[in-house]
Structure 1
Amino acid sequence: MINSESNIFSPVAVKYNGNLLDNHPCIASYDYMVINCQGVPNLTSTADNLVVEKADYGTSIFKDLATITIDGVKFCSMVWNPRNPKLGKNLVQVKLENHVLYLLPLPEIKKVLDAFFDHIDLQVKNISRLDVCADFENSNQVFENVVRAIATEQIRVSGRPKEAKQFGEVGFYGQTSKGNLSYQGISIGKKSSTRYLRIYNKSVEMEKVKYKEHIVKYWADHGIRNNNVWRFEYALNNAFLKQYKATYDEIFDPEYIVLLLEKAMDGHFDLKYNTGKKEVNKEKSVPLFSFDKLMKVKKKLFKCVKYIDETIQRSITSVKRQIKGLYRSYYSSGSDSFWHALNVHLDNYELWGWFDQKQDEYLKEFRKQAIKLQL
């Protein structure tokens, strides 16, 4: 327990009346979108710029799965024909590709979707899931101190009781360096809940899990460097979106992103300083960031679909370079950690076929380099 005058967010004092992230460049966006539709997809006749590639197998929930490519760019995936009749035989789900959400303006995404749904005879029903987030540059110190303060009970999370145990409703994650624990994130709620919050170091995640060139480009175009960018992200399911009457037409208004964030946070993630009061709600609030500032961020528009394709290709090229580097490190050191990281990249980007073809070539190159070094 601490005194409310303590300075736990050095160099930002507790007495500071503004928001802790006022001086950090920020941007809000969608990161994941699944739309529920009704109908039977008409795949007998497609437009010249539309390619529907049906998979041999479906998913655990749907019998049919297809990838949709528009103007040569992978745009979305579609599943239909539910295995469980209780879902309704005409339920169709469309999931947008991640790069589309970052590299096309929302009104243009809606225009393409409307044309696609009309072409294959689908009617929009509602939104199944929407991940909405805000990214803050150079914010490691602020967010790590907030997470550490929650973990050490210097800050309290207001609202209903939340379990804090492994696989419970509050989870902390990080790593140790020279014996010291560095916090890299916190999650609030369950993935099955109507809203699930994750606050984490996005720069670290992209370095260790899956690098996304289109997100780095998106940040750069809005004045944000890939420099300890932390993400404040809510996963919102159909029940939450229905409760707040979020419609298909509304979500493609860029300002609605911030409104959804505000609605999700309300009553769910309200931070309070811990001065020992019996009622948490009577403690002084911890001001984290301003919704008004997020609302005022000007977004640039990208209209060229070819630009998306080029960005995706740059992303894959950079990943292939990383894979080669990891393979070289594994070859020279024999460390399993390099092999594990290599496998993560190959799985995430579905590059096993490419790697099988390049593996012998790389081995020959590494052996030649090793011989030269010995000489």
Structure 2
Amino acid sequence: MRTISLCKPIGWLYETHIFTQVWKLTQCVNPPLAPTLNPRTTWSNAMKNLTSGLLLAICHNSFSQEPIFATISGGDLYSFNIETCTRTFKGATGYGFGDIAFTPNGELWGIVSGNLYHIDTTSAIATLIGSTGIGAVSLVGLNDTTLLADLGFNLYGINTNTATSYYIDHIGYQSTGDLTWYDDDLYIVTAAGQIVRIILNETYSSILSVVPIGSSIPTCEGAVTAAFIGDYNSIVGFHGPDLIKICQIDGTYQTLCPGLNFGGTPGAASIRLASQSPEPLSCIPTSIQRSPAAMEIFIYPNPTNSSINISSSIPSSYNYSIYNAIGQLVRFGAAKADTAIPLDDLCNGMYSIEIRNETKKFRQRFMLQ
């Protein structure tokens, strides 16, 4: 496992019509064990080795679902496609997990009776890592070696290499089943059937504020965050056999896939998505146009393994910035017309590229693998 440290300029690259300053990540190193790690800089190896094809094509509001998994009461593992409201049986884990969670590198984990297991997403075989020392039933990934867990109104961290846990801070609310990320903040579904936003500090070592959102919602044993066609990302709750779409702003909800997950949902897992730009201000479907026609921008290939190409009919020069999955700037420059940006020095994961001129701004996610 590798992570990205700070960036530094390494020189200038001559592209069509213009010189571009190239920034390079200094190195990818193994993260220290929690709690001394700085997850906001170590999480940049996010979503590594995904083979489900996260293709978000420019100009067409395309949708490519990041992996979503859930277990039912008997421990059987399923993958879900919420676009088509279908599920696929992956196998029997043999354990009635209280919850499951992905780390950003695509590894799946489960917890039951205080024990942490690694779960193979192809065979569903569960391998014991060790005892966490806490009876948590809510998990979410923080970085490649750390999970967050909720127990008894408190937030904990769990090291995936050793299963050891450590106390982070007091939440004041208790989750009945799951934690999920939405952009830069953590959300839980409480025992009272309420969604709560948790704002953490930059090192994820303490809680800055806890904000209850809206009125009561149906109690959800599992929760994930998913991307949707032409709209903002949304929290999806597993309420019995039903999947419901929950607004992270006001707590309103609507049924998404009724009766899909018969057998109940003790736990659900999704990989943390890249933060969105612009930031959602409403949960009303917006049919967001990711590429304004006036800009006529195409970015390809997606996914890519070496470089990303910008094809544009913009007559004037434009600026571009590339951000990793947690919003850190890893490359920027200026160009005109068609440009190829080398990515060989970056770690695998999800990135977003932002292109701006005097009047327009465009942002698109892409996968480096």
TM over 0.5, yes or no? no
Higher strand proportion? 2
**Greater relative contact order (Cα < 8 A, sep 6+):** 1
TM-score of Structure 1 vs Structure 2, range by shorter chain: under 0.3
Higher helix proportion? 1
Pair member with larger Rg: 1
